[in-house]
Structure 1
């Protein structure tokens, strides 16, 4: 497929039709992909990891976002910091592994050494006039939301993160991620554009493809057409509403905020949260719908607390239960490839094989991720077709997909200076 020019992209943005999927170049074009990196991933708060990834001083992880490599490290004062992963001498990559532990950060090329606050400690043969204080590592903006790590590559990041964090902290804090550990992490490459990954995540119209995940949800929670309800569906809806009342009493007794709170479209750091009813035993997203880890999180003593979901624009989704949490980050690799990274967290004192079985803990989302990756691949193959035209979203099950694509087009509009266009006004 021929690529598009910047004027073409402006036209695509201007004629975006609310309530419909995006035109094909948004999913296939190298020029659009490059603009996505510049306008979205270089300028917004990107979810990149969890605090338990760096549990001890000196522990680090490296994260790639487009052409940028970032180091996230815990310093000797237990503060988590982020830096560009390059030496201030001649730009060599500093840390080459995905994760590890260091005393200081030392460049392999000419052995410039930095401490864990980013200060340059040692640089040979630079002369008496050389000022080490001017050559520390380049910092990256980092925010730690109750154990969730977000970075922003912009010189001036969106100022709305702190307001979002203040809203979300009471929802997340009871799960006490800072006292969790990473039980498992997994990388999956989806053969599709990152926006298709996110669109797929923002709806459950397709959730009949997820029999494992479906065990823990009432079908009406996926959405339904109120004008087309069978007697069987009516019974399911009644059971769902009764379960919601029961769970609301449990949540109130535990002092847990419920939501929903939704601000997905108009702000740069769009987000949504809601505490969810789970079916069956109602405890966790497992094949049995019971907890997978006997050591509950935080100060929880009640396992049957359903789940909390949390989304952020542009690239994350999260599920919190009483016994474990699951976190997802989508990072674009190319116009048609996306990295989906998943973390499973349990209480840091939980012992594998005693308090939890790793297969039981992870099997639902390992299966669901694979199914979603396949569906995204099907869609990517379809949008390459010359027959593809944007299709309508269901108003009952895909309104949140429309919210994502509307947010995305508005952010491109803001970046490109396009304003006052129907459906794509810059926020």
Structure 2
């Protein structure tokens, strides 16, 4: 058994020195199994580093195809100082461009989303078609060549209806392998054919890594998420062979529900096995299908389906939750009746955009096939509760008395996330 970690005495001078430490030194001395030192969470220098090392170099989930169903539809994503347009182009394919005019660099589209026939810069009216070509630039010299000033593209991929982009020209080399692994889990839900029932943006007053750490564990769920635990087995992250006595009844229910779900999935040829590789590769991920409590159909108080029209023509609503995590900013839950996607986008060292999107069958009608409040009930409440926890964590880390603390065994995915993060930071700093 390892020796217990002893808290170090509070020393104001040491706290100031920690804030002034070189990022390379801080990254090199990170202790596995422990949370990060304060500058990682609160320093503007580390915020900029995170944008360059993590968000500019990883495949980042930004939207669902259902958010841009028609040619000309777009969403705008701001990732630190990178401004990106994600659009359905004239060929009805998903495209992404830097939201920067090729004239003098003005931001072109300013609304968060919308639909346009062409992309027009409001400064000098330079106009681009949805494929990025410059089609109008008034009062230019006779030898002006519009073809030299197309919108700069951003690499974009749609994975079973989920849109990812990578700002860097050097994309993670393992993404194709990851896609090949997860797509069979995701594709049966036919997300690209779905429609958006609701989308809620929440600004969390904390660093984006605290948002992700909070998401990667359910250690806090018993005391913090009563709505979620109506349909969530409280064994997430625990070793089922060495579980606290209080959770044994929940474990037994969980194991019985797993057997029922596996039998159903086998009959429908749906994959369900857990695949987890969170910190040993550039694109860390985890995916599996697992049961929900009670009726086992959806995130509702009694576990029954929240939407009458099931997605993708599934013959049963009792398919549990098909869940995926993808480093650094994405998680989702796909049920038979609806799907939920989450993305965390850093805004500032102490602010993170959490965007949650609920998707349903394209023919499902609000008020007839589903009640919006019931559909969003569990995760709307959970997000608000988590936002409070993230804010409290950030306020605590701001205190000079903060020192890194140990992750519990059930928080192994938090440790894996931080291991992954530190490796990306070290690689970037070594370039």
TM-score between the two structures when normalised by the length of structure 2: 0.93
Q: Distance in 2 between matches of 1:371 and 1:158?
A: 34
Q: Partner residue of 2:121?
A: 107
Shift of residue 237 of structure 1?
2.0
Q: 1:409 maps to what in 2?
A: 422
Cα displacement (A) at 1:238 = 2.0
CA–CA distance in 2 between the matches of 1:300 and 1:94?
Answer: 42
Q: Find the residue that maps to 1:404 and give its secondary structure.
A: helix
Which residue in the other structure is 1:46 paired with? Answer: 60
Residue by residue over 1:245-293, the C-alpha shift from the partner in whole angstroms, topping out at 9 and shown as x without a partner, is: 1111011111110121111112211111011111100001122211111
Q: Is the 8 A contact 1:316 1:328 kept in 2?
A: yes
Match for residue 318 of structure 2 among 290, 301, 304: 304
Answer yes or no: is 1:317 the counterpart of 2:331: yes
* Unpaired segments ≥5 residues, structure 2: 1-14
What are the within-5 Å matches in structure 2 for residues 110-121 of structure 1? 110-121=124-135
Contact 1:6 1:31 in 2 (8 A): no
Alignment partner for residue 211 of structure 1, among 222, 226, 247? 226
Which of 276, 292, 310 is the matching residue for 2:290? 276
Q: For 1:328 and 1:399, locate their aligned partners in 2 and report how far apart those are by CA, in whole Å.
A: 21
Equivalent in the alignment of 2:183: 169
Deviation at 1:239, TM superposition (A): 2.2
Question: Partners of 1:17 and 1:62 in 2: how far apart?
Answer: 38
Superposed displacement of residue 162, structure 1: 1.5
3-state secondary structure, aligned to 1:274: strand
Is 2:112 aligned against 1:85? no
SS in 1 for 2:114: strand
* Deviation readout 1:170-224 (Å, 9 max, x if unpaired): 0000110111011000111111110000000001101111110111122234526
- Matches of 1:166 and 1:228 in 2, distance apart? 34
Q: Could you tell me which residue of structure 2 aligns to residue 399 of structure 1?
A: 412
Alpha-carbon separation, structure 2, partners of 1:318 and 1:370: 17
Runs of 4+ in 1 over 4 A off after TM superposition: 1-7, 224-228
The alignment covers a number of residue pairs equal to 416
Distance 1:365 1:233, change over 3 A: closer
User: Unaligned stretches of 5+ in structure 1?
Assistant: 419-427
Q: Distance in 1 between matches of 2:72 and 2:398?
A: 46
The residue aligned with 1:220 is 235
Instruction: Specify the alignment match of 1:421 in structure 2.
Output: none
SS of corresponding position for 1:219: coil
Contact 1:205 1:223 (8 Å CA) reproduced: no
Alignment of 1:251 with 2:276, yes or no, is no
Q: CA deviation at 1:137?
A: 0.4
TM value normalised by structure 1: 0.94
Q: What's 1:197 paired with?
A: 211
